[in-house]
Each structure stands twice: as C-alpha cells, then as structure tokens.
A and B are shown apart, each in its own frame.
Chain A
C-alpha cells in the first residue's frame, strides 16, 4: 500500500512554503512521467486502447445504453474511500490479478453474498466489456493505486496572504497609489495576523494528530463490533490489562467468529475474506497505527487499565460509534498531566499502596480526603520519560 498521507499542509514561513511548492512541483512532474510510462504496459495481451476502453467502461464514460449505474459508483478508484463499504477498484484488482477471467466473471455475474447479489443482479454486462474491465483492473493492480493528491488549501492560502503582504508593503513604502493609507495597512496587518495565527495553530499541532483517521487495509468497523454486537474491548485487545501495549488482535483471533461469519451487513463478503485469506496465505495485515506517541514517551496500558481500572472510553472516546477508528484525544502532555491531577487512586483496596504508610494515616485522620495520581508522583518526569 503505497499511500501518502498529507494531513497537514502549512508553512512556518514563506521560505518554507516556497520550498514545499518546489517540492510539490517535482512531485507532480515525476508523477506525470510515471503515468506516461506505465500506460504502455500491456496486461494480458491487451493493447493500451483496449485497457483505456475498459477504464472508460468501469467509470461509466462509454456512450452505451444501460440503466444500471457504472462500476465506479460503488467501487471507488481512489484508495481513500472511507465512506464507502464496498471494495475499491484497487482492492478488486489486487484480488483478481492472479485469477483468470472466468473466476472474475462468475464473481461479478453470479455473486454469492446477499449484499452483492442485491447490487449486481440484472446487470447487463457483455462478455467483451467485462474482459476489458478485467484487463483494466489487472493493469491497475500492476500500477498500484493512484496517488492521492495532497490537499494544499492551507498552503495556497498562506501564499496568497504572502502576496497580499508583499503588495501591502510595496504599496505602503514605494507605490503609494491608494489614497486611503489605512487600506494597505489594514491589509498588511490582517494578512500578517492571519499568517501568524496559521503558524501558531500549526506549531501547537506539531507532532499531534487528534482526529487522525487513516484508511485501514480492512474496513473494520468498531461501531459494528462494539456498538452493534456489544463485544467487550478486552475480547480483542487482550493484553491491555497486563502489557504496555493493548495489542492489535492477531488475525487468528478474528477467526474465532469469522470462521463462521463470512458476510457482513455492510461490507458483504469482501472485507472479511481479506482476514480469512491473510491467515490462510500467511500474509500480514498491515494496519495503520493511529495512536503514535513520541519515542521519548513511555506509556503502559497495564498501569492505566490493569491497576488504574480506567475505562477505555476515557482516552479513546466513543469507539462504539466509530465506523472508522480515529484518535479521540490529542495525546498531548498537558492532557496526560491534567488527568493525573484529577484521577483518584484506588488507595484503600490495592495492596501495593500499603507502602504509603504516612498517607494512609493522614487519610484515616481525615487530614486528606482522597489521593490523586499526581499526589503519589504520577507527574514525575521519569514516570513517562526514560
């Protein structure tokens, strides 16, 4: 999966922006070259024209009479298709790349799953067209997914503001054409202020990724598993209580249920089959890690869940409502420290805290009414940084 995620585009100063712009230019220019080269690739003896025809058919661009919607209306070509439960064109292409046309044909025209039957039924797909679609998909599998174009709104805005500032400054000092001097001044202050605000906002977010919700290799929905089916978090994240890592479940754990459940209400058979196939073929599922802490931070689930008895929701938010998993908290140090200041420690029942004789005495004597995590050193540097 050769995805490029650009979640933040910004500039800390003008130089930076120009640098990035130059980079982007090279990035796109190489992309164009790359595309030109790969078009000459011929998959399975088909000419480039035929593959193009297959692509147009897939995308519903061919001028032919049909009532049903085009393939692309359900099967996104971009890899970013978080809103869509259906497999993307690339997913399909990969799955059928090594298989022959007949299998592809029967999968499309004689679907086994109910969801697919509902949408594929009575499609008037000619044999010839389908062959070309397959050729197009094979070609797609070879080329890899199309690149997601990075969003550069922020950058463009930043550059625009830069132009405005330049203009305002030139106007103020050299041109002096606008009669009302306040206009360039206001423009300058406004644009500059906006830029500063952008830089500060980016600076604060630097290294943080709240709401990060990348596409995953399998369209796994926590909402379906936790919210609708009520599976306990610990059923899958088994190690949260005793290891520093909560653990992403091994694929064989999925099969505890999915050995029988092979079709989902939303995703049909395709997504579950990915997991089953991964185990059968011994190929790893490479999930995208969402919660990333810097290397100099030590965090242990065991202390928070195992002995602190914290609810998963406290940090991970309403996971049961998320089809696409995202980072709920900002995971900043301020967030950690605040929680340590507020969280009460289970001081009476956990035998470990017997060591704190003095505090127990104070509690009994009523000098203090509760012990919070920070009171027993939870905010010491070397609790997390070592």
Chain B
C-alpha cells in the first residue's frame, strides 16, 4: 500500500512520530493543567460549594418569567418559528455569489447557495458562508461619525455637500474610490453624481486586481475584459500559478465547473489538470500533474510552450527559447492532441504573461470553445495603473477629497502608510465602510453603509447575467446606503429602492419578453434572485498586438530567494479579518488557522535545521515557518490578508501584513519578489497547526487509483473493500431500519478540500469558535474536518483531501461505552447525541476510531475569555434557534443536521407524501461547491445515495473494524499515467 503522511515528521519516522505526537499531546495537556493550576484544591471546593448552593437557590426558588410578545400586525409571510428563504446577492471583495438567506423570526441565520443562479449554481465559498457573521459584528459602526464622534446625518450631509461644492469650484479633484462596481444601477448613480460634480474622478481599486488579464485582452481582442472560462468543457487544463479553485477570479463558479468535468459518477471521462506553481495551492493540491517552479520562470515556460505549440502547428517558433526548467514536450503534445478542448490559464498580473497565455489558447483554438467572450466576468474591473496615477495626483496635491467605498488601500496597498498620511491631510475624506478598518480610521467622515443583508441592490457579475439583492433584516444600526448618500450630496432625495425599481423598469424590463407587467417581472426576479438575458455572441477578432514584445521580454532574473504572495482561501485579501469563523478555518493545505506563515521548501529546511514554528525574517519581516511539502526550491509563499491593525477585537494583529513588501512595477502590482533576503533566527512562534490532530495511525483510509486503471476496473484501488466485505462476521444482531436509513457518500474525486463545509456546518449547528490557543490544544470544535494527506516525494507530493464527519456507524463503538446512554442509535440509523444527558465522561471520544467527537472543555458562549462571536447579544443573534447551544462539559458531534431531517420529514408528513430523494440536504452537502457530498435514504433503492453506496469505488473508513459506517467514500481517481 502507498504510504500517506500528514507531516514531514510522520513521513521520516512514522514510529517515532507516533510516540512524539502522543507525547506532545500529553505535554500540552500537562502544560494546560499547570497553567490552570493557579487555584488550589481548597479554592475548587469553595467555588464548588458556593456555585452549587447558588445554583440551587436560583434554580429552585425562582424561574425567570418569560414573555411572549406577538406581532401587533402580523406580516403576511412571517410565521413565528418558521424560516423564510430570501434570494439575494453577495458581492464583496471581488467575489460574487447568488445566495438564499434563511431568515428565522426576523434574523438571517444561514446563507445557502442559490440553485437557480446560472453563474454560481448553488455554490458558495467559505467567505460567502461566513459573511453572515459580519452582520452581527461588534466592530460595526452604530451611526455616522466625524473624526470618531457621532454626528447626525443632516449635519454630515450639510458639511460634505459644502465641502464638495468648495472643492468643485477650487478646481481640485475629488476621487470616488470604489472597488469593482457590478451594480448597474449604482453605476448610473455614480455617473449622475459625476454630472453634478464634474471634477469627481471615479476610480476603481482592487487589492488583487486582474490588471494583467484586462490589459492583455485589450491588446489581443481590443476589449479589456475577463473572458468566461469553461473548466467543464476542457479535457486538458494547464494553470500557471492560477489558484482557480481557491482564490483566482471566481473560484465558486470554476470549482463547480471543474468538478463537473471530473465527475466519474456521471461520465466515464475526466479532465487532466497540470499545475505550475511555487507554493502548494488548493488548486495545485488537486492537480493531476504538478510542477513546482519559481514564479520568475513562468514567463520562460510560457514562451517555451508557445514555441513548441508553434512547431507542432507548423508555425515558425519565436525567438527567445531559453533553457526551460521543465520538459514541456509531453505537455505540448497533449495540448495539441486536445486542441479546442484545452484550457490554459495564468494567475500572473503581468500582461506579457497573459498575452502569451492568450496566444497559446489562440493557437490551440480554445477561443469560442473553452474560453468565450459572450459573458465576460465583471467582478474585477480595476486597473493598478490607474491607481498609480491617483497616487501621483494625491502626492502632488491635486486631489482635494476622497470618498472610499468598499476599499481599504491604507491596509492593502504597498504604500499604505503613505496613503494614510496623505488622506489625513485632505480637506474631505469620507468612508462608507460599515465597520472599522485602516482606511476608515484616517477618514474624517464615516457614513456607514448597511451590511449587504440589510441592503437593496443589483448585480451584473457577468455580462447579461443579473441578480438582485434584497434586505433580509431591518437595519440594525443607523446606516444609509452609499447610493442614497451620493444622490443626497448631489442634491437629490432618492430612495434607492425606488430608484432601483425604476432602473430595472427602464433598462431591463423592456429587454425581456416573459412578463407583460413590470410588477410581475420584478417580483419574479426578486423571488428567484437572478435574471439572465440571452448571451450576445460576438466573436472577437484576434490580434497579435504586443505578442512579439512579450516573447522577446526577458523575465526577472531568477536569482536567490523568491517570495510568492498569495491570497488565503479563508481570508482572501483580508477584508474579513474580523470574522472568527474564517480565522479558525484551517488553511486547506497547511491546516493552520489564526496566522499566516512562511511556507518554505522541505530540502532547505532540512539542510538549515528549520522546523515548523521556527521564525525567519524575510526582508526584515519576522514570520513563523511552515515546512511545506511541494514548495518549489528557493521560494517562500506567504498569504496576504493578515496583520490587520484596525479590524476589530478578533482580527487585530493576527499574523503579518505582507502588502508593504509587494513590488509595484510600472504601476502594476506583482505577486512575487525576487532576490529576497531570508535570515534565520533562533526564535520560535507557536502556530495553530491542526494537521496532525486526530491521527488515524496510517491505516488505509484514503484510497486512490489512476484513471486508466479505473477504466479497466472500476474497483481499482478499492480491492480491500471486497476483501473486508467477504470477511464480515458479527456477534451482534443486524439492526433493522424500518423506515429511513440515512447515509452520506463522499466522492473523494470531487472534493477539492476548500473547507466550505467546515464553515457552513458551524453556521448551521451553532459550533463555537475556540481560538488559537485551544486549537493548538487540539480542541477545535469543527464537526466536519478535512483531512489532508500527502503521499510520495515531499519535494512534490500528491495530495488527498478527505472530509471526515461522524460516520454514524450502525455498530458504533461510542454508543456502548456511554455510562449514561447519552449516545444511542436511532431508528433511522443516526448516531444520536443527547446533550442534556451527557455527563462528560468522554469515553465515547476515546472509543471513536474516527476522532469525530468534540468535547466542550469550556463554556464558549457568553464567556469573556472566548471573546469572539458569541460574547455579545449582537453576536449571538446568529445562533440557529433549532439547535441547542451546548454548554461546558458535554460531548458534541455531527448529527447529519438532524434538525433539517426533522424539518423536511415534518413537511412531508403534513403534506401526506413520501420524502423526495435529495429533499434533505445537511449544511455541508448544501454548501459543497463541487457536489462531493451526497445525502439520502439508503433504504430507498432508487435514491442517489443507494447507487453511490453500490458503486465499486465505494468503501468505508476502517471498514475492517466492522463498525458499519453510514458514510461511504468513493475512491479518488487521478488522471495520471501510472497508478
């Protein structure tokens, strides 16, 4: 059997690792006890006695009087105790998602993907899921402010209007600095604003922009757009540093399509995915073939690939073919074979690289097939070069005022400090931000906008594809939509909702033919959340403009260390740093939460005695080290988005801000540096690494095979399953499930390890954030974890992801060790957990072979020592009323979202019909962007789950133990030559 390892220590010496790991665990616990031991036994007894007495007095003598306050006038659609779902739109930090908001008793409590959306197709990302918590963030502004002091809207409006008029006459520019604006109605409002104040310069700024792609397409096709990439149609996908499953452009959409092109439960073919990159990204971890290369070598690689494709296409190759670090012959051949059904992408922000990618795709005839221009992506419109112009103007004193909307350049621009100093001196600086952040802190006026779940709005993420945003809760604070503010300052009293309706009536209603009346059209779109116009298919003419220069361009000298700056899958560009759910989500590859870190290559670390948690300095910045298998030699990857200083109580001062190191070349921001100075230090820094938690001791838990082998034998790689099945003997009576028998299938081939389920689950099940220290103490509460295993060579390992939740074993080892029968088996095959019965012996945890049970070591809700989301009334508004908030001292674990099962069963019973297959979707299943999880009734032979359970790829974790899990895993299939 292939050997899998979770960390380098384990790979080198598995036996020693086991001992060390156990010892480390014991040491940690001992430390913990020592630390807690500030109090003596007597203190304990005193507290114990008093608390018992106090509790007895309070509990037995007085029961709180609860009030029931009904509506005075009940709104028609609201029923107490029943959730409503409203379609809305998420767009923040350049990420778009069409969503459904679950609203219970007036509070949004969960976000789910909208299955009607043609763009995101029920997909969500971790950030979309977690954005719900931002609504209940204590760091939000309670009302408008001037210099940190509250000021009523009327006064603020008067002062800003006066200031705008003065600036307009004085001849100075006022810059309206926004992130990409995909709302068509907002665009018209900004244009109207500019008409009133002609000196307003509308500038779009994205921290991670698509300048390179926009510029390259401007040259190649005469249009600065981001085309539509069809990862589902491609048979061969080649990515040069584009983390399209994690962070690049529109990962939700791409993940869906990518998984579709590799779904072996529907088709007998899958794409082959090549990845060239420095650090091991989420996308690289999913690649069939991965080449660790330095980022500076990408230009050379692209040139060579282009030349080889020219050669095989009978075209004269261009000059400049240097020594390539990777032999591309085979790749070029494969691409040529799949001309028209290949897709080459690059994550570079350098337009010359993107030009080469365009040329390669053009040579392969991919345009019109795997890349189309009928629905360009509009979520990244900003150009770095334009922002550079703004900086020059700002420094030269030509700018008199700045109005910021959705941007935070003081934090996420390399020259943030300079910008902060300049902004402070401006006569007018306004921020629309709804919570504290670095840029807002230096602005004079704060005109807080409502959270997107409190707002009206529209969006056009891709040309011709529209969606609406509607408020799901009454505004919690005194906020105002920026659209209304802008119009107010332009002298117009506008209700943005009315404006939006009028805009849609005027602009979009005439373009459709389905509805006769606007009201019907509006209501229908509002209900569905999305509306699409037929695609305008106008093939763009290819031009070779700029290509020659790109081919002749010399890349940066590849000398010394190279530092690669990436976005983290959880935090993105850092906008959501104050979100504890995202902070606690372990990085998909490194499995580290609460910090960013320097991923260094294995070999170098070994040679220099650097281990995890060592501290190195990179150009003077101190960073903790994570020795990352698969990291290209002489490269270091670090995630951006950390090191916020003004984010709120959770996000302040976590990790290190790398933006100041980011180089800007000709106004364009680059995402790697060459010639970096790396120095060792003797310091250590503790990291919350959860990758080695819950060890399964190296048993055959991940099974995989090669695509070729699978085609011959669908059970390839899963031979053990048949063997175990044939040897099953039991003393226990086989349990009979008379009605339902719930089960879940996890397609390891589809799972991309994004961690979306690990956010969706806490949101649904009130799982608490425990903080860095407790994560280090192996007490992370997530009910679903994604195990990440490496195999083969540490220099370039193969990666497998495996989501593990409670397996709901029919012969559950946990059940028969509970002394108080708090965890029995249900009639429907669920392994139940009765919190109110649990006394916290933790026998079940010790007896669970899958390590999926969690213990509440502390009370995490309403405890100032865990001051994350649940320590204020505002933060607790996110709690799901249908799920118990667990207290200290009880065990908890995945329940298959039993509240959802019960809810749908109740509905079916009332309607007097059987349950439909797929009607029940636990939170993880609902949120999975790649449809890797399937839930259903195994007693129904026609259900999807029954079919998957019968799939030759299906196996169970540790099936030799005969625990009879209700969760099945489908073997991972890699599209590689050998097995």
Contacts and interface: CB of A to CB of B under 8 A. Distances in A.
Interface of A: 3, 5-13, 15-16, 19-20, 23, 202-203, 206-207, 209, 214, 239, 241-245, 247-253, 278-279, 282-289, 292, 294-296, 298, 300, 302-303, 306-307, 349-356, 358-359, 376-377, 380-383, 385-386
A375 to B, nearest CB: 8
A382 B57 contact: no
B453 to A, nearest CB: 23
Nearest to B68: A289
What are the 8 tightest A-B residue pairs by CB atom distance, in nearest-first order?
Answer: A377-B827, A245-B81, A307-B909, A250-B74, A250-B71, A381-B834, A289-B66, A382-B832
A15 to B, nearest CB: 6
B541 interface: no
Interface string B47-63: 00000011011011111
B885 A295 contact: yes
A247 B53 contact: no
A385 B826 CA distance: 12
A62 B327 CA distance: 111
Contact of A251 (B72, B909, B910, B937): B72
B80 A239 contact: yes
Contacts of A250: 70-74
Contacts of B895: 382, 386
B68 A350 contact: no
B910 A302 contact: yes
A355 B906 contact: no
Contacts of A6: 61-62
Contact of B738 (A8, A23, A241, A376): A376
A286 B72 CA distance: 11
B61 A214 contact: no
Contacts of A289: 65-68
B915 A8 contact: no
Nearest to B82: A243
Contact of A207 (B59, B66, B822): B59
A70 B792 CA distance: 96
Contact of B910 (A206, A241, A248): A241
Interface stretch (B136-144, B244-252, B254-262, B897-905): B897-905
A8 B61 CA distance: 5
B57 A300 contact: no
Given A250-B72, A386-B898, A381 B826 contact: yes
B884 A385 contact: yes
A4 B909 CA distance: 42
B913 A351 contact: yes
B711 interface: no
Nearest to B835: A296
Contacts of B70: 247-251, 285, 287
Contacts of B72: 250-252, 278-279, 282-285
B856 interface: no
A284 B68 CA distance: 10
A355 B913 contact: no
B620 interface: no
Contacts of A354: 914
B60 A12 contact: yes
Given A11-B60, A286-B67, 16 more contacts: A9-B61, A12-B56, A12-B60, A239-B82, A244-B82, A279-B73, A283-B72, A285-B72, A287-B68, A292-B66, A307-B906, A355-B740, A355-B915, A355-B939, A380-B827, A386-B883
Contact of B65 (A203, A288, A295): A288
B714 interface: no
Interface in B12-36: none
A329 B835 CA distance: 24
B826 A352 contact: no
A288 B914 contact: no
A298 B882 contact: yes
Nearest to A302: B906
B191 to A, nearest CB: 41
6 contacts: A11-B60, A16-B57, A247-B80, A288-B67, A377-B827, A385-B836
Contacts of B833: 381-382
Contacts of B827: 376-377, 380
Contact of A5 (B65, B826, B836): B65
B81 A243 contact: yes
Nearest to A253: B74
A286 B70 CA distance: 8
Interface in B829-885: 830, 832-837, 882-885
Contacts of A352: 905, 908-909, 911-915
A377 B739 contact: yes
A377 B884 contact: no
Contacts of B80: 239, 243, 245, 247
Given A298-B899, A377-B828, A380-B832, A239 B61 contact: no
B492 interface: no
B79 A242 contact: yes
B10 interface: no
B1 interface: no
Contacts of B71: 250-252
A245 B80 CA distance: 6
B914 A7 contact: no
A243 B910 CA distance: 11
Interface in B768-803: none
Contacts of A302: 906, 910
A238 to B, nearest CB: 8
Contacts of B9: none
A381 B832 contact: yes
Contacts of B834: 381-382, 385
Interface in B619-654: none
B884 A381 contact: no
Nearest to B825: A380
A257 B834 CA distance: 45
Nearest to A379: B827
B824 interface: yes
A377 B69 CA distance: 34
Contacts of B66: 288-289, 292
A206 B615 CA distance: 56
A346 to B, nearest CB: 9
Contact of B906 (A303, A349, A356, A359): A303
B895 to A, nearest CB: 6
Nearest to A247: B80
A249 to B, nearest CB: 6
Contacts of A353: 739
Nearest to A3: B65
A15 B53 contact: yes
A8 B830 contact: no
A244 B81 contact: yes
Contact of A296 (B81, B836, B908, B910): B836
A382 B898 contact: yes
A376 B828 CA distance: 9
